[in-house]
Amino acid sequence: MSFIIVSPLSRIAEMAVRHKVRDMISLIAKEQAFHRPGVIVADRHLTLAMNDITFKGTGGLVAPDETHVQGIIDFAASWRQETPLLIHCWMGVSRSPAAALIAALSLAPDQSEETLARRLRAASPFATPNARLIEIGDALLNRSGRLVAAVRAIGRGADADGNAPFVLAIAAPACG
């Protein structure tokens, strides 16, 4: 079974080494400097410059858009799934959980959005997926509003200190 590791920036090196990660998506503000963990080669690292906002026109900040979400979908499709995929943002609470849901649905489109969102909530009581990323992902993945509704149904996560990585399975384990 394939997994996505969702992490705050402060713990990416630890998570990459612990989980033998070779692929990483960074959703980070354009001016945010950080070092890619040495176990991840440059061509298996996607950096998407965006702020954690839900609407355009916020003076100088970059709102998530369709090109960012398509980048997540395309990178997930190129991931060989031999080792977990690491997705991070600044705190691991909003942008990266949204990207994890989008990647999981793009890779396993037959799963229920509600079940996936509930798995996310079980994995992280703190996750509050970025609504703009979710809305764009819903549209690009032709989910007809189901992903948006599923994320709304799990509600806002508990307050977090930005130090709570978690693991999300791409699809629910098979019964039997």
Residues 64-76, mean pLDDT to the nearest whole number: 98
Confidence tier at 163 by pLDDT (50, 70, 90): confident
Amino acid letter, residue 92: G
Q: CB within 8 A of 124, min separation 6: which ones? A: 6, 97, 157, 164, 166
Residues 93-115, mean pLDDT to the nearest whole number: 97
Buried (b) or exposed (e) across 141-159, using 16+ Cβ within 10 A? bebeebbbebbeebeebee
The pLDDT score that the predictor gives to residue 161 is: 73
Confidence tier at 39 by pLDDT (50, 70, 90): very high
Helix locations, the chain, DSSP H? 12-18, 66-78, 95-107, 113-123, 131-140, 146-154
Helix or strand run (H / E) with residue 166: strand 166-169
CB atoms within 10 A of CB 56: 11
Q: What is the pTM of this model?
A: 0.95
The pLDDT score that the predictor gives to residue 176 is: 46
Q: Minimal CA–CA distance to 92: which of 172, 26, 22?
A: 26
> Could you tell me if 63 and 55 are in contact, meaning their C-beta atoms sit under 8 angstroms apart?
yes
Average pLDDT for the chain: 94
The pLDDT score that the predictor gives to residue 153 is: 98
pLDDT in tens, 40-66: 999 999 999 999 998 886 678 999 999
Q: Is the pLDDT of residue 90 over 70?
A: yes
The pLDDT score that the predictor gives to residue 56 is: 80
Q: Please give the share of the chain, as a percent, with pLDDT higher than 90.
A: 87
- Say which CATH topology domain 3-169 has: Protein-Tyrosine Phosphatase; Chain A (3.90.190)
> Could you tell me if 40 and 111 are in contact, meaning their C-beta atoms sit under 8 angstroms apart?
no
Boundaries of every domain in the chain: 3-169
Bridge partners, residue 5, by sequence: 86, 167
pLDDT in tens, 106-153: 999 999 999 999 999 999 999 999 999 999 999 999 999 999 999 999
Q: Is the pLDDT of residue 104 over 70?
A: yes
